[in-house]
Structure 1
């Protein structure tokens, strides 16, 4: 399943979070993302050569998140960006988290983290 080819859809309040087995299966479609907090969040750390490259990624991340209407939590350190995704409305993970994660990995700025 290629999450990057999909678009985020609004989640209705009361929608249940993705079951743990589905989280594990969906993680298999991503590169380097890990489940956290009893499979209610997914996380990845991107490493860059310097602060400028990290900030380029953050700016690209912001544009992507706004376009998808799904906004991750992130922390910037000098040359790393920690990204955590979860869907507040469902209190855990939804397809939207995996869609954004897959699209983040495809950003040209993310290529700098793979050098």
Structure 2
């Protein structure tokens, strides 16, 4: 299986398929630190990253924003002093699509640049 972080997002529409329970189990192995949550009855992927200060948290937030713009797929980002919470889901289908797992993996790769 190709690394999710190397994949590109596909265009999503209202009739795009959500990932199945089986696919979630398979994809989750590549992003083990992400939590599967539900907000307002919408399944999402969420992870909080910790940083030594606000400046680092903002730099990480901006890097995730750049990746999101490049892929045309945008997260919810909550930036606070020393931490950033990132949530991925696909608005068009009110659920999870493979794109969300791709972007979670890309977010982990970005975090590795900041946290190493």
TM-score, normalised on structure 2?
0.88
**Kept in 2: contact 1:74–1:81 (CA 8 A):** yes
Corresponding position of 2:44: 41
Corresponding position of 2:20: 19
- 1:64 matched to 2:46: no
Q: Which of the pair is proportionally richer in strand? A: 2
What stretches of structure 2 of length at least 5 have no aligned partner? none
Corresponding position of 2:30: 29
Corresponding position of 2:58: 55
CA-to-aligned-CA distance 1:49-78 (integer Å, 9 cap, x gap):
000000010110110000000000010111
* Structure 1 vs Structure 2 CA RMSD: 1.7
What stretches of structure 1 of length at least 5 have no aligned partner? none
How many correspondences in the alignment? 113
- Any idea what SS the aligned residue of 2:77 has? strand
Tell me by how many angstroms 1:16 deviates.
Answer: 3.0
